[in-house]
Structure 1
Amino acid sequence: MTILNQLIEVETEQGINIYNITPQIEALIASTSIQNGQVLVFSRHTTTALAINENEERLLEDVKVFLRKLAPESERYLHNDLHLRVVPEDEPMNAHSHLMAMMLSTSEVIPIVDGKLALGTYQSVLFFELDGPRKRTVFCQISGENIVLSRH
């Protein structure tokens, strides 16, 4: 079995944004000889997340509204009492972003079949920025076999 580790870099914009990183993952897989296996996609930040869902503009706007209702930025959060803890000078008041991230997921595992992601028709791998703008990285671990299995 082969195991390869790669990073995807995402430059994000202000606020809550959702990025389709499926093409970057597909490119990583295409650059390997792995035909059958899986890819682990892992968000390396506490205010970002991942999900597999439909990459449809109006749905993504609905998701942003839903997340803002779950953890409104205007609420009072203990994490935002920056004067009560040791923090860097540029530390944002971002408790709401941490809470949103906890309601989502930090990773997804997607099968690779015949060198391609085995996603369904409307499925995409979505990266959620909940506290942008930032430079982010997504860790991808591709594992599997370099052979094509024959189908009988």
Structure 2
Amino acid sequence: MPQTFTTRTLAVETGSTETVYDLTEACAEFLRDEAKGRSGLLNVFTPHATAGLAVIETGAGSDDDLLQALHTLLPADDRWHHRHGSPGHGRDHVLPAFVPPHATLPVVQGELALGTWQSVVLVDTNRDNPERTVRLSFLA
């Protein structure tokens, strides 16, 4: 069977607070529509300089733990050279070095091959930009 590639862009509203936004169901829906039982790779990409993607457990406090760890690692204070927007915004531009703007995940027979507690999430610490884009791409 020849390789196929398909892609879709999602608009995500993250609001005015730091957030871990679960994309797992949107990824599964995309694969139901496009993979149609085939195996391949799902690439998830966010074209922003101040957001990233992660695969973590959600709903049991891990999302809050991740945000707290980022506060410890990347404090929102005036130490950053990149200065505009909200106080400490420079750290938002460093975030993608720690939480990359992409993830490539296995798809087996049309479904994400995630572990039991794993979810695909958008990590957004930039309170100045509540509108995000995420691109889902499937390669069979």
Q: TM-score, normalised by structure 2?
A: 0.89
- The runs of at least 4 aligned residues of structure 1 exceeding 2 Å deviation read none
1:109 aligns with 2:112: no
CA shift digits 1:87-122 (9 cap, x unpaired)? xxxx55510111223211111111111111111111
1:56, distance to aligned residue in structure 2 (A): 2.6
Query: What is the aligned-residue identity percentage?
Result: 26
1:138, distance to aligned residue in structure 2 (A): 0.6
1:96 aligns with 2:99: no
Match of 2:58, as an amino acid? N
> Which of residues 36, 39, 44 is equivalent to 2:42?
39
Instruction: Output the aligned Cα RMSD.
Output: 1.5
SS at match of 2:93: helix
SS at match of 1:97: helix
1:56 aligns with 2:59: yes
CA contact 1:7–1:138 (8 Å) conserved in 2: yes
Partner of 1:30: 32
Distance 1:36 1:124, change over 3 A: same
Q: TM-score, normalised by structure 1?
A: 0.82
Identify unmatched segments of 5+ residues in structure 2.
none
1:140, distance to aligned residue in structure 2 (A): 1.2
> Which of residues 120, 123, 127 is equivalent to 1:125?
120
Match of 1:49, as an amino acid? G
